[in-house]
Amino acid sequence: MRGYRVQCGNPACMAIETVSMNTSAHSSGDDDIQTARRAQTKFEKLGWKIGKREKEDRCPKCVSPTATVIHMPPPQEQSPRADLMQSTTPVNEIVPQPEPPPADPPKPKGSAGQLAPGGRAITRADKRVIITKLEDVYGSEETGYQSGWSDQRVAHDLNCPAGWVAQVREENFGPGDNPEIRAMRDEVRAAVAEMKDKHAEIQRHVAGAEHWMKGMKDLQADASRLLSKGVQLENKLNALLRR
C-alpha cells in the first residue's frame, strides 16, 4: 500500500486529503506512473480538481458553484504531476503515536491490615498496624519476643521493611530478643568465660614451664662445673702418683 496526498491551493482553505493505492513490492518506474495516474483519477472522483501546478488544486468545497475557482481547460493525457508521484509514508509503514505509559498498578496487599510500602516513608497508620502485631507477639522489655518471633518475621508477616518494625519496637516495646536469642547469647557468654579460664590456666602452665626450664638450665650449669672440677682433681691425683 502507498498513500498519495493532495492539498487545496486556495489560501483560504488549504484542505488536505490522502488516498491509499495498492502497489507491488517490485514495481517499476512505469508502474509508479500508472499508480499516480490512478491516484489522480481517484482524487477527481472524490470531487477534487487537479491542476497543472500544485497551487491550482482545488478541493470539492472550493470547486462548488458558490466558491471562487480557477477554471482550467479540459485535462489532456499527460504524465501525472510530480508532486502526486511523491507518495506519502506507505500505509503499511505508518508508525503509530506512542501511547502514554499505564499508571502504576496498586501495590499488592495480603490479608486485612497488611502493609505495602512501595519505597515510601512509614506513616502513623503503618505504626499502628505494627504496634497491634507486636502486642500479640512481644512479651515484655525483660523477655523480648515470644519464641520464634523476631523483627524479620514480623516484617515478613506484615509485608513491610524490617527497619520499620525495629523502629517501632525500640520506641514502644524494648530490645529485639526472643528465647532462642537469649539462650544463644547465654551459651556464647559461657563459652567465652570458659575460654578465658583456659587461657589463664595455660598462662600459668607456661609460667611454670619457664621456671622449670630455668631450673634445668641452672642444674645443667652446676653439673658442668662439677664435672670440670672433677677432671682437674683427677689430673692432680695422677701427677702425685707418678712422683
Work out the mean pLDDT of the chain and round it to a whole number.
Answer: 79
In sequence order, what are the residues at sequence separation of 6 or more whose Cβ sits closer than 8 angstroms to the Cβ of residue 66?
none
Q: Hey, what amino acid is at 242?
A: R
Which among 58, 55, 35 is positioned nearest to 47, based on CA atoms? Answer: 58
Task: Determine the average pLDDT of the residues in 210-236.
Answer: 88
As a whole number of angstroms, the distance between CA 197 and CA 203 comes to 10
> Higher pLDDT residue, 21 or 118?
21
> How far apart are the C-alpha atoms of 206 and 219, rounded to whole Å?
20
For the chain, the structural domain boundaries read: 2-89, 124-177
Strands 144-145 and 138-140 turn out to be antiparallel
Q: Which residue has the cell 516513608?
A: 121
For 120-131, what is each residue's pLDDT tens digit?
889 999 999 999
Distance CA 204, CA 210 (A): 10
Owner of C-alpha cell 515484655: 140
| Helix, strand, coil % in the chain, rounded to nearest 5 | 50, 10, 40
**Measuring CA to CA, which residue among 24, 39, 17 is closest to residue 85?**
39
Are 141 and 175 within 8 A, CB to CB?
Answer: yes
Distance between CA 113 and CA 130 in Å, rounded? 9
- The four Cα atoms 96, 101, 105, 107 give a dihedral, to 10 degrees, of 150
88 has pLDDT over 50: no
Average pLDDT of the segment spanning 163-179: 92
Assessment of whether the complete model's pTM goes beyond 0.75: no
Q: Quickly state the pLDDT bin for 135 (edges 50, 70, 90).
A: very high
Residue written as grid cell 511523491: 86
Q: Per mean pLDDT, which range of 42-46, 66-70, 182-186 is the poorest?
A: 66-70
Tell me which residue has cell 702425685.
240
pLDDT for the residue numbered 37 = 86
Instruction: Name beta bridge partners: 4.
Output: 19
